[in-house]
Each structure stands twice: as structure tokens, then as C-alpha cells.
Amino acid sequence: MEHKETHFTGSQTVRDVVIGMADGLTVPFALTAGLTGVISSNFIVITAGMAEIVAGSIAMGLGGYLAGTTEYHHYQSERKRENWEVENWTDREKQEIRDILSEYGISPENMEGVVSDLAKNQDKWVDFMMRFELGLEEPHLSQARKSAAVIAISYIVGGLIPLSAYFFTATPMEGLYISVVVTLIALFIFGFYKSKITGQSPIKGALKTMLIGAIASAAAFLIAKAIS
């Protein structure tokens, strides 16, 4: 019977969705709750909420893109340095291979064969050093663009959930009541699946995520009430 390993491989995308959705659910939720405490117009809440979602998604997406491009340029810079070291400090770099292999319990006799084979191909040698000496995986600029899009879209989807209640109610307070229920359910579901995918306790993660959103919105509402 063929053995199939089922490792989870979508960690980058999941991370981006989590970043965008978590802020998208929480920040507009807190903003609309705060506005509800001081104004009596759904139109103003909706306008401010939409403006925040647009600005927030752009900022979050841009932040994800800049982080991705910075990681890419850092990798290229380190790879260029590693290439120079392999060419100019060959013996020292070979010893570093032996040191790495010794950490994995490879015997000295077998080490020399690996060192010899790696030294025949500089690109593979540098690949080995980047991964096992520096702990760096090669990023791609396309991933930076993808991350920006995923984060921005996730933020928009998350932000529209708490804001949607204000489209169908007569007053901000009515909208807030519905928004609280809908958003807390969404936070619970989001936290549940986020924790399940990442191997954590789903219920614990769901409750923690929901609690954070509730605290943020309550704080915004109470502060706005106190100031007004």
C-alpha cells in the first residue's frame, strides 16, 4: 500500500489571510462601535467604515508587499556574500559544511563524500549554505505581490462583516447590536479554523480571537462615550 504524507503546505497564504482577516474583523468593528457611541447617523458610520476599510486594506497590502520585497532583497544580498565566501574562503566554507553535517550525526567518513560532491557545483553548494547555515529559503517577488493581494482582500472581507449590519438598520445602535453578534460569530469561526489549520486547540483559539475583538470594540465604544 502506497504511503502518502499529508503535510500542510499553505503556510504563507494562511499567514496572509490571518493577518488581513484578523485586522479586518477587529479594526473596523472597533471603529464602528466607537462611532456608534457618539453619532446617530448610519450614513456617517457606513462612510467612515468604508473609508477605513479602503485605507486599511491598502496599508496592510502595501505592508505585506514591502515585507516580501525586503525579504527577497535580503536573501539576494546574503546569497551574493555567500558566493564570494565560497570562491575566496573555500577551505573555511568546506569546514562549515562538516560542522553542519556533524550536527545531524553524519560520520566523518561520510562527510567527506558530501563535501566533495557539493564542492563540484557552486550553485548547489551555496544553496546548501543558505538553507542550513543561514536558515534562509529563497523568496520570490511574485510571492510578495500575492501576499499583498491576499492580505488586502482578507482585510476587506473581514471589515465588511461588522459594517454590513449598518446597511440594514435604522439607527447606529441597532446596527451595533447586530454587528456585535455577527462579528463575534465570525471571529469565533475564524479563530476556530485558524487554530485548527495551524495545529492548535480550535476552541481555545476561537475563544481567544473572539475575546480580543470584543475587548477592542468595547474599549472603543466606552472611550467614545466617555469623551462625548
Residues in Cβ contact with 69 at an 8 Å cutoff, skipping those fewer than 6 apart? 141, 144
Q: Where are the alpha helices (DSSP H) in 89-171?
A: 90-103, 108-119, 122-132, 141-164
Same domain? 146 vs 221: yes
Please tell me whether residues 88 and 182 are part of one structural domain.
Answer: no
The pLDDT assigned to 76 comes to 86
Look at residues 99, 132, 165 and tell me which one is the last residue of a structural domain: 132
Q: What is the value of pTM for the model shown?
A: 0.75
Range of the domain at 121: 80-132
Q: Looking at the domain assignment, is residue 4 inside a domain?
A: no
Q: Same domain, yes or no, for 61 and 156?
A: yes
Give the count of beta carbons closer than 10 Å to the beta carbon of residue 78: 16
What is residue 7's predicted lDDT score, i.e. its pLDDT?
A: 44
Residue after which a domain boundary falls, among 132, 149, 175: 132
Q: What is the pLDDT of residues 82-128, one digit of tens each?
A: 888 877 888 888 887 787 877 777 777 777 777 777 777 777 878 88
| Within-domain flag for 37 | yes
Tell me if 188 sits within 8 A of 210, measured CB to CB: yes
Q: Are residues 55 and 101 in the same domain?
A: no
Question: How many folded domains does the chain comprise?
Answer: 2
Q: Say yes or no: 210 and 166 in one domain.
A: yes
- Listed as ranges, residues in the chain with pLDDT below 70 are 1-10, 198, 220, 224-225, 227-228
Q: What pLDDT was estimated at residue 58?
A: 93
- CB of 165 closer than 8 Å to CB of 42: no
User: Do 25 and 115 share a structural domain?
Assistant: no
Exposed, middle or buried, 145 (CB in 10 Å: 0-12/13-18/19+)? middle
Classify residue 5: in a domain, yes or no.
no
